[in-house]
Amino acid sequence: MGTITARKKADGSLSYTAQIRIRRDGKLVHSEAQTFERKPAATAWLRKREKELEAPDALERARGSEVTLGRIIGQYVEESKRAIGKTKTQVLQTIIKSDLAAMPCDRIESRHIVEYLQSFTVQPQTVGNYASHLAAVFAVARPAWGYPLDERAMDDALTVCKRLGVIGRSKQRDRRPTLAELEALLDHFTDRKRRVPQAMPMAIVILFALFSARRQEEIVSIRWKDFDAEHSRILVRDMKHPGEKAGNDVWVDLPAPARRIIEAMPRKKDQIFPYSTDATSANFTRAARLLGIEDLHFHDLRHEGISRLFEMGLSIPHVAAVSGHRSWNNLKRYTHLRHVGDRYANWSYAARYMSDPEDENEPQAPSTAMRTK
């Protein structure tokens, strides 16, 4: 399996390159070479290495000294049959650029992983995301490709980081906007749209978020072909889920007010709300800051929308059909109710979308006009 090749150097003398190439099932699985001034030295090295590589696990150890963690991550991304979401892709690309990824995989110990995770200056839940995606690579490297990447080192590092508070679960928010805060935001955006007609209709987007209980990225991704008016539902593509997001397409029910908002939107583009998540978030954040509304995120509108459905007396299956949750446990956090009944029943901003008496299971509001200036 080894060869020695003589090469003439610039000064006319010879050098001898000993090379070992190992194939398994027709595929090259290992290659290494050394160059010597004398042929006997090359021959001795070749015999010694061939004997060493015959030992159990020797080939695996040899491959580990060549293959870096970064290369394994690249192979993981390339060979994964499951679509890798945008966030996971960004995380893995960040890890690839690190000093940890430059290390040979057989030399990575738990302390190296701990040091890397401790180097982040973000929230523990964010570090936890990095650890989770890195652990997925460790889990498949040895059984799938034979790389000596120690999964136990990863497990030990996770244990240490949890104990030290380096990683942690996301904190559950229970922030809900007051009607006064919502009115201030909607007044602001309604006035802005009147003054600047080409401005993004943030008031409509906010109302849709409240009535549909949809996430920001879901709202701007809905296409007209995903809207089923007959059954009052929409198809949410790549719905967020801990185990699977890409390809996780789910039909969810649309409360009547949310359906009416969609039906009133112009059909100029494929998307019903043809805006970006960055623009939506930036508009909302700037307005909240300008109006002195503290600690309110766009995502809190989803919490508000789901909580409102429970306050209206809807059953768990009914709420889950709207929110898209798969289990009751995930809905428990929305049951700390503040009201009984629909807090929007007499709210002028909602009345425009809640005035159709033919819709069942929807509270009827006085037929007042939408707030104007």
In a domain, 361, yes or no: no
pLDDT of residue 248: 76
In a domain, 131, yes or no: yes
In a domain, 186, yes or no: yes
Residues 43 and 132 in one domain: no
168-210 tens-digit pLDDT: 876 677 789 999 999 999 999 999 999 999 999 999 999 999 9
**d(Cα 252, Cα 229) in Å, to the nearest integer?**
12
Q: How far is CA 64 from CA 72, 149, 154, in A?
A: 11, 8, 16
pLDDT of residue 196: 95
Residues 327 and 196 in one domain: yes
In a domain, 40, yes or no: yes
Q: Is the pTM of this model over 0.75?
A: no
pLDDT of residue 164: 94
Q: Could you tell me which of 208, 354, 190 has the C-alpha nearest to residue 273?
A: 208
Residues 31 and 125 in one domain: no
Q: What are phi and psi of 280, to 5 degrees?
A: -60, -50
Q: Is the pLDDT at 324 greater than 80, yes or no?
A: yes
Mean pLDDT value across the chain: 85
In a domain, 358, yes or no: no
Residues 330 and 234 in one domain: yes
Residues 32 and 83 in one domain: no
In a domain, 170, yes or no: no
pLDDT of residue 115: 95
pLDDT band at 263 (very low <50, low <70, confident <90, very high): very high
Catalytic one among 162, 245, 297, 318? 245
Name residue 292's amino acid: G
> Total domain count for the chain?
3
User: Half-sphere exposure (CA, 13 Å, Cβ side) for 22?
Assistant: 14
- Catalytic-residue membership of 325: yes
Catalytic one among 39, 299, 318, 371? 299
Number of Cβ within 10 Å of residue 199's Cβ equals 12
pLDDT band at 348 (very low <50, low <70, confident <90, very high): confident
In a domain, 347, yes or no: yes
Residues 211 and 255 in one domain: yes
DSSP conformation letters of 129-161: HHHHHHHHHHHHHHHHH-----HHHHHHHHHHH
Q: Is the pLDDT at 363 greater than 50, yes or no?
A: no
pLDDT of residue 331: 73
Name residue 200's amino acid: M
Q: Kindly state the average pLDDT of the residues 13-24.
A: 84
Out of 28-32, 114-118, 211-215, 283-287, least confident range: 28-32
- Catalytic-residue membership of 245: yes
Residues 202 and 137 in one domain: no
Residues 187 and 146 in one domain: no
Name residue 318's amino acid: H
Catalytic one among 49, 325, 343, 352? 325
42-83 tens-digit pLDDT: 999 888 888 887 877 766 665 556 688 998 998 888 887 676
DSSP conformation letters of 118-131: HT--S-HHHHHHHH
In a domain, 367, yes or no: no
Tokens of 333: 């956090």
Q: Is the pLDDT at 373 greater than 60, yes or no?
A: no
136: β partners: none
For the stretch 271-295, what's the b/e string if a residue is b when 16 or more beta carbons lie within 10 angstroms of its beta carbon? ebbebeeeebeebbeebbeeeebee
Out of 105-109, 167-171, 230-234, 317-321, least confident range: 167-171
Catalytic one among 116, 334, 349, 353? 334
Catalytic one among 302, 303, 308, 352? 302
Q: Is the pLDDT at 361 greater than 50, yes or no?
A: no
pLDDT of residue 178: 93
Residues 210 and 344 in one domain: yes
Residues 227 and 347 in one domain: yes
Residues 122 and 263 in one domain: no
Domain range for 43: 2-54
Residues 338 and 191 in one domain: yes
**d(Cα 125, Cα 174) in Å, to the nearest integer?**
17
